[in-house]
Structure 1
Amino acid sequence: MAMNRTYGQLTLNGNKWLLQCVPPHVAIRLKQLFPRVPKHQIGSFEFPNDKQHCADLSWFLQRYPMEMPKAQSDMLESGRQAFVAEQSHMEDILRPDYLPSVLNGLKDGQKIRQYQGQAIDLILARRALLLGDDVGLGKTYTAAGLCLHPQALPAAVVMQTHLQTQWQEKIESFTHLKVHKIKGTKPYNLPAADVYLFKYSQLLGWIDTFGDGFFKTVIFDEIQELRRGTDSGKGQAAKVLSDAAIYKLGLSATPIYNYGAEIWNIIQFLDDLALGSLYDFLREWCIDDRRVKDPDALGSYLREQNLMLRRTKRDVGQQMPPINTIVEHIEADQKALKSVEELAKHLAIKATTGDFYSRGQAGRELDLMMRHTTGVSKALGVARYIRILLENDIPVLLMGWHRDVYCIWLDELADLNPAMYTGSESEKQKNDAVRRFVSGETNLFIMSLRSGAGLDGLQSRCSTVVFGELDWSPKVHEQIIGRLNREGQQEQITAIYLNTNEGSDPPMVEVLGIKQFQSTGIIDPGKQLETKFSDKSRIQALAEQFLSKRPKEFDLVV
């Protein structure tokens, strides 16, 4: 008799499963297993009639049987079986011998690679995917391939401001799709097209047009742009656009720029059921509101849910030599550091002893001031180091952040005709800077730390990147190195960090290590932080050669 006991009623009401007459102890268990059920709700509970909820409810009924009409019980079972079949299909897609769907609409001579085709078929099956493939593995082509499926059109692609033209050129060179670049932030009657290209900065102006489901697919390039969630206008607009779309694809080899909790905001734009509410996520996964307590476990979970797919160059047979990472110490200008010593001391005291608002404000001011001062204090040493490379005919990608630092570099290296790609140049000026560098008109390309995401083409010209200033995010550094470490690169990449033992560099290096640990676990679960390969012999030889020629003009120790 005990085996026939039931614990309530489950019926299909419209397109919702309705659970009623549930005893208190079963309701408690239900809320534990289904976190999206409000804790204060009593009496009856509703669930969507989709495959995943059919599977979950069927599983719950194994422990707590419910009264159900026979026909509806069969429908629940049918939904469960469809979920199991879908999961099995996604597992098949990810097998090494899987043959992706044949795509029509590619231009002659173009093709989708097997691993790119796997990602396309996975997004069609899962309808939501964070594609975290290594920089240079063709995430743009994967996105274009998705848009070749009629059920995915029309599609909206959202990218950083400087990449709109690059996206158009790649899609049109690869496919027969018709592309339209959105102009401005005021809505207008859109011309007929397959793919519409939005800048993140344009989204808010178009927010009122996104809710009608016109766009069947939304693709967020460099989706880390949305890591602050819906706190910003662009985030709110992106959520409306995403909620109305059928297929949702996020692209980024570096979705986490700082601490692990950023992943919750990212996933909300793709599948807002996967990680539960922010409260549940912080409670179950995090140490505090920033740090994930077990990054490897979270990364594994996202993969088990087929919500995240990431392949490295090694995975797809494009293994390249290890990055040659060199850390050099630059002597800082003591006058520059001493000039802010008193103010820094005042801000440091205020940041530790003031009220909540004052501490935050003082901390931010101290950070900005010390980063600026540190950059300026070592700028001359950085410029002299760069000259070693340039006078040995080595093309260099030089990374910085502050305008005053750029000015020192430009003054010291003016005779070498540097190209500039920072936050101050127009899109046309940036494109011209890329042209000059790639064509060989100059060997020096000065770029802002956060201006190069998505930029392609530099790998054909350069294999050496020098960080004259640091960013707070290790993934910014990784993105920049990835601009060079991609298909078409013929040389081993050398990444040189020019740090000083004073100012803001030491604490930044420490924080970068903590953030790298968080990100690596989620993006590459099970992968230990690798020992960096470092070979200074070539740079040392160049420096010694340079010093032998100019012993009085150059006092940098390398």
Structure 2
Amino acid sequence: MVMIRTYGQLTLIDNKWQLQNIPPHVAIRLKQLFPRVPKHQIGTFEFPNDKQHCADLSWFLQRYPMDMTQAQVNTLESGRKGYEAEQSRMEDILRPEYIPSVLNGLKEGQKVRQYQGQAIDLVLARYALLLGDDVGLGKTYTAAGLFLNQQALPAAVVMQTHLQAQWQEKIESFTHLTVHKIKGTKPYNLPAADVYLFKYSQLLGWIDTFGDGFFKAVAFDEIQELRRGTDSGKGQAAKVLANAAIYKLGLSATPIYNYGSEIWNIMQYLDDLALGSFYDFLREWCIDDRRVKDPDALGSYLREQNLMLRRTKRDVGQQMPPINTIVEHIEADQKALKSVEELAKQLAIKATTGDYFSRGQAGRELDLMMRHTTGVSKALGVARYIRILLENDIPVLLMGWHRDVYEIWLDELADLKPAMYTGSESEKQKNDSVQRFVSGETNLFIMSLRSGAGLDGLQFRCSTVVFGELDWSPKVHEQIIGRLHREGQQEQITAIYLNTNEGSDPPMVEVLGVKQFQSTGIIDPGKQLETKFSDKSRIQVLAEQFLNKKTNKEAA
């Protein structure tokens, strides 16, 4: 009888696998293959008794057999087989010919599209998913379809403040599910309902109610809201809610707003074991505490783990003409830039020579001041450019950030009765503005850079977006363009960036390129940064028409 050499003992104690008495060379190999094991750890190594770890340990034991009881061998093999069955199931779900499960509870005339059904079944099989489908592919309907499964009820959806009514309207128009909008930040006895809608701003007040497992499923809409993790109160509350739920669904076409390391925080709400501890993540995946060294590899890994699913419009047969991206340079008001020159110089010196605290504070103040000054300095030029489009009866979505900039635009374009959708309007005022624009009462819709996530309906009225100010995140720009570049749009989208060669615009453009590279690799691994389609001919014709018209009026 051939004796098999063993390298230690593997024992199941308190539902955890414990690996003991292994020789140094096996311990070194274990730490290489299981990055979550601390490099300094010796003696006993502990692993959860879940299907994935059973599969990993079973694989490791093929090279380094361990002493085990037969009962424990059976338990390990059962977990391995369960893991392989789950993997096979998920591979089947993602096949192009897959037919999703039939959903009961849809209203007459409504249906779940095949790619939406795939995502629903993947959540049910994997229990956690980051759904990164393109803007406009119906992620809201996918979540509603998930809630049609009884094991996912009652469910909670967390969304940005202005989207609560929109979520209720879509769920109720699509399904027979009952919906309750959470009111306020103080807990109260909840009425009977299938789906409960929370705003991110309400979560902290309800944190003490989330740990009992009442909510079987949770969907985080625009999950990039949690990219700073549990440093914030809403992040801590969201973590308690996610930990107690069985099914976790993150929704966002743009989960990474800045640098690649944000994905670690996002994954903590979906599968907090997937990327290990933050220390492990930084060691294995990152250059520093912000930048991922190989975004494509990380994106591929998340897909291999069936933790992330993303389809583009091309993937689902909704291919549209390429976005026409135009960058125009606007002359800045030198007087406005000159007025802050001395202060900017003082802050720049502080930001490079002061102590740690002073450098950080001076850097933030310099950024805020230069962004504001740059926006104001080019606001008049932006308004004049917008008038060219409006004089030619082109509906325009105009993006900005600073109240002073809005005031200049409003003053210069007052005769065109612009609609406002910024941080200063109430929810009713914002809804009224959308109605005015969509109905054709006005051709100008001024919106804050970070106010448009989730907003639907603008695509039926508008195909031109103008960035009068820039955001530090390229994904904010992408989200806004996605409000127009979606199903229902009949024209090619034109995205116009009105930049100046001075102030904060040049460094912002440079940083945006770095962040775009990080995000693209993780969200769309293997997809190189594409050359943007740009055709200025139409805009140039409009400008010439406008100038000719103006000259003729003056001559008359």
Q: Normalising to structure 2: TM-score of the pair?
A: 0.98
Q: What is the CA deviation profile of residues 356-399 of structure 1, one whole-angstrom value per residue up to 9, with x for unaligned ones?
A: 11111111111100000000001011111111111111110000
- Identify the residue that residue 76 of structure 2 maps to in structure 1: 76
Deviations 1:307-356 (A, max 9, x none): 10000000000000000111111111111010111111111111111111
Q: Give the 5 Å matches for 1:256-275.
A: 256-275=256-275
Residue aligning to 1:250: 250
Aligned residue in 1 for 2:399: 399
Query: Residue 428 of structure 1 corresponds to which residue in structure 2?
Result: 428
1:29, distance to aligned residue in structure 2 (A): 2.7
Q: Tell me whether 400-409 or 498-507 shows the greater mean CA deviation.
A: 498-507
Shift of 1:292: 0.7
CA-CA distance at 1:552 after TM superposition:
10
Does structure 1 residue 17 correspond to structure 2 residue 35?
no
CA distance in 2 between counterparts of 1:540 and 1:40 reads 65
1:283 has 2:271 as partner: no
Q: In structure 2, what is the equivalent of residue 314 of structure 1?
A: 314
State the one-letter code of the partner of 1:333: D
Amino acid at match of 2:482: G
SS of the residue 1:506 aligns to: helix
Structure 1: distance between partners of 2:341 and 2:386 = 29
Tell me the distance in 1 between the aligned counterparts of 2:131 and 2:382.
36
Match of 1:7 in 2: 7
1:421-479 Cα distance to aligned partner (Å, 9 max, x none): 00011111111111111111111100000000000000001000000000011000000
Give the CA deviation at 1:211.
Answer: 0.9
**Equivalent AA in structure 1 for residue 149 of structure 2:** H
Deviations 1:276-296 (A, max 9, x none): 111111111111111111111
How far residue 521 of structure 1 moved from its aligned partner, in angstroms, is 0.6
Residue 104 (structure 2) aligns with: 104
Deviations 1:224-266 (A, max 9, x none): 0011011111111111111111111100000011111111111
Give the structure 1 partner of residue 383 of structure 2: 383
Question: What does residue 118 of structure 1 align with?
Answer: 118
Tell me if 1:417 matches 2:400.
no
Q: What is the CA–CA distance in structure 2 between the aligned matches of 1:171 and 1:73, rounded to whole Å? A: 47
**Matched residue type, 2:281:** F
* Residues 334-349 of structure 1 mapped to structure 2, 5 A cutoff: 334-349=334-349
Q: CA deviation at 1:63?
A: 1.4
What is the SS of the residue equivalent to 2:424?
A: coil
Structure 2 CA distance for partners of 1:55 and 1:344, relative to 1, 3 Å: same
**Hey, what's the Cα distance between the residues in 2 that align with 1:310 and 1:117?**
13
Alignment of 1:352-391 (within 5 A): 352-391=352-391
Aligned to 1:511: 511
Amino acid at match of 1:22: I
Query: CA RMSD of the aligned region, Å?
Result: 1.4
Which whole-Å deviations, capped at 9, do the CAs of 1:166-207 have from their partners, x for residues lacking one? Answer: 000000000000111111111111111111100000011111
Query: Which runs of 5 or more structure 1 residues have no equivalent in the other structure?
Result: none
Alignment map for 1:145-544 (pairs within 5 Å): 145-544=145-544
Taking the aligned partners of 1:119 and 1:52, their CA distance within structure 2 comes to 21
Q: How far apart, in 1, do the equivalents of 2:359 and 2:79 lie? A: 54
Could you tell me which runs of 5 or more consecutive residues in structure 2 were left unpaired when the two chains were aligned: none
* Equivalent residue letter for 1:380: L
Query: 1:17 deviation in Å?
Result: 2.1
Counterpart secondary structure, 2:300: helix
Q: Residues of 1 paired with 2:283 and 2:27: CA distance?
A: 21
SS in 1 for 2:472: coil
CA distance in 1, matches of 2:246, 2:425: 37
The one-letter amino acid of 1:449's match is: L
Deviations 1:35-76 (A, max 9, x none): 333444433233222111110110111111111111221221
Matched, 1:67 2:38: no
* Alpha-carbon spacing, 1:8–1:470, altered in 2? closer, same or farther (3 Å): same
Task: Give, in angstroms, the shift of residue 89 of structure 1.
Answer: 0.8
The amino acid across from 1:389 in the alignment is L
Determine helix, strand or coil for the equivalent of 2:503. coil
Tell me the secondary structure at the aligned position of residue 410 of structure 2: helix
Q: Which amino acid aligns with 2:135?
A: V
**How many Å separate the matches in 1 of 2:259 and 2:274?**
19
User: 2:93 aligns to what?
Assistant: 93
Letter in structure 2 aligned against 1:363: G
Identity of aligned residues (%): 90
1:553 shift after superposition: 10
Where 2:447 maps in the other structure, the secondary structure is strand
Amino acid of the structure 2 residue aligned with 1:26: V
Q: Which amino acid aligns with 2:151?
A: Q
Give, as a single letter, the amino acid of the residue that structure 2 aligns with 1:392: N
Opposite residue 465 of structure 2, the aligned amino acid is V
| Partner SS state of residue 4, structure 1 | coil
Q: Distance in 1 between matches of 2:288 and 2:471?
A: 23
Q: When the two structures are superposed, what TM-score results if normalisation uses the length of structure 1?
A: 0.97
1:550 aligned partner: 550
Shift of 1:551: 4.2
Shift of 1:498: 0.5
* Distance of 1:285 and 1:20 partners within structure 2: 29
- Matched residue pairs, number? 554
2:18 counterpart SS class: strand
Letter in 1 for 2:422: T
Partners of 1:306 and 1:193 lie apart in 2 by 31
The secondary structure found in structure 2 opposite 1:550 is helix
Secondary structure of residue in 2 paired with 1:72? helix
Q: What is the alpha-carbon distance in structure 2 between the residues aligned to residue 321 and residue 485 of structure 1?
A: 9
Q: Distance in 2 between matches of 1:194 and 1:134?
A: 27
Structure 1 distance, partners of 2:516, 2:39, is 36
Structure 1 residue identity aligned to 2:346: H
